[in-house]
Chains A and B, each alone.
Chain A
Amino acid sequence: MRIINRFAVLFILLLISSCSEQGNGVDFNKRSVSVIIAAEPPTLSTVGPVSSIGIFFQGHIFEGLLRYDENNKLSGGVAEKWEITPEGATFHLRKNAKWSDGRVVTAHDFIYAWRLGASPENEYNFITFPMKNASKIAEGKLTSDKLGVTAVDDFTLKVDFEAPCAYFPALTTFTTYMPIRQDSFEKWGADKYAVDPEKMFYNGPFVLTEWKHGVSLKMTKNNYYWDKEKIWLNEINVPAITDQSTTRFNMFISKDVCMVNLEDSNSLKSALKRRLETPMKSFSSGFISYLEFNNREGRPTANKNLRKAISLVINRSDIVNKVLGIPGYKPGSTMFPSWLGGYEKLLHEEYDFNLPLESLSEAQKYLALAKEELGMEEITLTYLYSGGPSTDGMAVYIQEQLMNKLGIKVNLDKQIFKIRIAKSLSGEFDFLGGGWGPDYNDPMTFGDLLASWNQNNRGKFKNEKYDALVVQANNSVDQKERMDCFYEMHKILHEEVPVFPIFESGGIYLADPRLKGFFRNIIGSDPQLTYARIEEDE
């Protein structure tokens, strides 16, 4: 018995000693915050695979020519001032922008990075295409030193455009446009650069000081950062990595992280049940989800009347409110989501994107026409999709609507993500559940998706008028003219239905009320904690 007692004492001691202090989600004294991430970034190299989780870190540890300031407005980053003309742009770099080892950031660091960014080996090289020769370099027809960017001197960077690019200044905040230290990149090589804290240099407000792979990461304030007076936080911790929403919610409840997304109805329910004092706020992910029809020859969905018939029997608000029930989602009637900016205000405030739909009874008419044109009595379609329970619900809803209202049989082809991508590219579907997220803050990031030359146009939709509008919007610097183009594109999509937009996704999140000055972003780091501060406990 005595032995057992000793064990019990030992065990209790062990318990007490191993328990950490509760709640370091926000720590006023240490000036630190903790956040939880769903997946580990594959790399932090700005010319490696682009991922939103990578961008979260990159937006804190690197800085481009421009950045979003403490009011989330576009302002000078490494560049002090800049001029833009239809032919190109000139950026004047500040002389006190430094790397984390004290070396000054020069125009050459940008040129080195951008040349890597345009090379065929960078899968995101399309983002450099506004620069002269970039698309030819990406195709391997020119060497990367032909890229339209030159250093007039160490602190002046001159960019030549392929075509006028009104949104180029905003584009320089994108991760591919961050500078790279040539010595570090060459020392480690493309595959090993930026996969450990010591394998890169930093020029952003923070430096990565810890990266235990698969376990945790930590960023601390960069003392060489030129604007460090504005940075209040000392530490941003990522104590764990998990895609389990319940675990993340439990971490927030235990005050071990400062913020949590409630991405499904279950976590929202449990949050409501607990009657938390923390206010719930909504955020937008910027993504648009849609059905994409296969326009390849021989597919029934290449028939416009069939697409119209289908589009008339699917009710967006039913899918969003009754089928998915995910908080923060809203029905979307266009490929140009409502958060996009127009020429002065928001795009949706300047144009009416909710064009009237024809009545349900028209669907039968279109279906009859389609059957006649196709010469088919019975129509069977394959719906390709991937994802979890919510996309299953949507698939079943679509299957049922098409069967009940149009008599079309739908076969569900559910695949894991990678296989869905492969099948969608090879055209093995009639329609698929697709989604698209923005790369930069301009309607073009959605607009050129359905251009006939775009590889991501998986349904191979081809419309000459649409293509011409994309080119026109691309070549213009007049914002009003460009927005008119986008609206015309929307009208074509509304008429031709190559895609049927369903919803804009988003969510509800909880944040510690003491945490101030952070931003939930659609483009760039989400959340952006650079200018965050913590209010003192009362």
Chain B
Amino acid sequence: MSKYVFKRLLSGFFTVFFIATVTFFGMHAIPGDPLSSDKVMSEASKEALNKKYGFDKPLYEQYFIFLKNTAQGDFGMSFTKKGQDVNDIIKQGFSESAKLGVLAILFAAFGGILWGALTAKYRNKWPDYLIMIFVILGISVPSFVFASFAQLFIVFLNQELNLVFPYRGDGSFVSLLVPALVLGLGTMAFLTRLMRSSLLEVINSDFVRTAKAKGLNSWQIFKSHELRNSILPVITILGPAIASITTGSFVIETIFTIPGLGKQFVEGVQQNDYTLIMGTTVFYGSFLVLMVLVVDIVYGFVDPRIKVGESK
């Protein structure tokens, strides 16, 4: 097991290294730099600033400086957010996004499993159709539409009923509920479909018939036979979903004014903020690699037939 984890971590390291390298050179190949703005700087100013930030050095040298600093866990200072360490920006943004993300994942996982189970149980009956309509909506309508509508709806309710339900992130837990629900909606819809098809497969299998024949009631069958055997694909998706959802969503965060990490990804790219781009990319890459590894290990617990780390 530990040998397996080590092997996976090593390959993960190379994956992240590869991502970082490609991003680094791609980013520098794009015209423009962090310092350019609407009004042009004089050549002298440009020279002075390039020297100050080390842009006058050859690219490979900048690359090695970046590698050295990253190895020491230091992404450097942001160019567009003066005086702020990229490490701090990521730390702060991630803690906000993760709070929201964990809630969203909970919504998505429980909702997905619940609705998926319902649709499978009532296959081709009205609950199935009804839920599937919402599922298709959830998958195909982009989240900013839901987010805008949700906010508009709360503001409307507040006005009509004289309530003060938070319509944007103000740091309280309650204010995260609606954004989390919206954020988890797409994943929830996807998981519902996944759960439905995998449960349908299980429902028609021999061992479920056997369980029925043994005289187990339907809740027991669902709990210990159907759910456990159908949940594997859900877990597969959940790993990457956790990585992508807890690292933030630009749209949800700007609409609900939540100071998360998702905003930093987009702003970094828009502003050509080299250090911020590299910081967020390496962080996200590593996190994703780690989550996929965790999922593979969790498989072993959910399904004892899968032996993690043992070759056939």
Interface residues of chain A, those whose CB is within 8 Å of chain B, are 14-15, 18-22, 40, 42-43, 45, 48-49, 119-126, 138-140, 188, 191-193, 195-196, 199, 212-215, 239-244, 246-247, 250-251, 253-254, 416-419, 421-423, 425-426, 435, 437, 455-456
Contacts and interface: CB of A to CB of B under 8 A. Distances in A.
Nearest to A23: B164
Contact of B170 (A20, A213, A422): A20
Interface hub of A40, A214, A242 (most chain B Cβ within 10 A): A214
Interface string B162-177: 0111111011111100
B73 interface: no
B166 A247 contact: no
A203 B92 CA distance: 31
B151 A247 contact: yes
B41 A123 contact: yes
B84 A213 contact: yes
Nearest to B79: A42
B125 interface: no
A372 B155 CA distance: 63
A422 B82 contact: no
Given A49-B37, A418-B32, A422-B31, A120 B48 contact: yes
A241 B40 contact: no
B31 A423 contact: yes
Which 4 pairs show the lowest CB-CB distances between chains A and B? A195-B83, A422-B31, A43-B82, A418-B32
Contacts of A22: 158, 164
B67 to A, nearest CB: 23
A392 B151 CA distance: 28
Contacts of B311: none
Interface stretch (B56-64, B220-228, B256-264): B256-264
Given A18-B175, A138-B42, A418 B167 contact: no
Given A215-B171, A423-B31, A435-B38, 14 more contacts: A14-B174, A19-B164, A19-B166, A123-B45, A191-B83, A192-B83, A195-B82, A195-B84, A244-B254, A246-B255, A247-B256, A254-B167, A418-B32, A456-B40
A14 B173 contact: yes
Contacts of A195: 82-84
Contacts of B89: 213
A197 B178 CA distance: 33
Interface string B121-162: 000000000000000000000000000100110010011000
A123 B44 contact: no
B82 A191 contact: yes
B92 A214 contact: yes
A31 to B, nearest CB: 22
A58 to B, nearest CB: 14
A88 B37 CA distance: 32
B82 A244 contact: no
B281 interface: no
Contacts of A213: 81, 84, 89, 92, 259
B52 interface: yes
A243 B42 CA distance: 30
Given A19-B165, A246-B255, A254-B158, A45 B82 contact: yes
B193 to A, nearest CB: 28
Contacts of B47: 120, 140
25 contacts: A18-B173, A19-B164, A43-B83, A49-B82, A120-B45, A120-B48, A121-B49, A125-B42, A138-B42, A138-B44, A195-B84, A199-B83, A215-B171, A241-B259, A242-B254, A246-B151, A246-B152, A247-B254, A250-B151, A250-B155, A250-B168, A254-B158, A254-B159, A418-B31, A425-B36
Q: Is the interface of B mostly helix, strand, loop or mixed?
A: loop
Contact of A121 (B38, B48, B173, B272): B48
A446 to B, nearest CB: 13
B93 interface: yes
B297 to A, nearest CB: 32
Nearest to B174: A18
A123 B165 CA distance: 45
Contacts of A418: 30-33, 36, 270-272
B39 interface: yes
A244 B93 CA distance: 19
Given A214-B93, A421-B32, A253 B49 contact: no
Contact of B270 (A139, A250, A417): A417
Contacts of B263: 214
B77 interface: yes
A343 B263 CA distance: 47
B35 interface: yes
B155 A422 contact: no
B244 interface: no
B81 A140 contact: no
Nearest to B36: A421
Contacts of A188: 83
A140 B48 contact: yes
Contacts of B166: 18-20
A160 B9 CA distance: 66
A422 B46 CA distance: 13
Given A42-B80, A191-B83, A242 B255 contact: yes
A241 B257 contact: yes
A244 B84 contact: no
Interface hub of B92, B171, B175, B257 (most chain A Cβ within 10 A): B257
A240 B39 CA distance: 28
A136 to B, nearest CB: 10
A193 B92 CA distance: 21
A196 to B, nearest CB: 7
A21 B83 contact: no
A191 B275 CA distance: 15
Nearest to A122: B45
Nearest to A39: B267
Nearest to A428: B31
Contacts of B33: 418, 422
Interface string B85-127: 0000100110000000000000000000000000000000000
Contacts of B31: 418-419, 422-423, 426
Nearest to A192: B83
B84 A254 contact: no
Interface in B155-211: 155, 158-159, 163-168, 170-175
Contacts of B270: 416-418
A256 to B, nearest CB: 8
A123 B37 contact: yes
Contacts of B164: 19-22
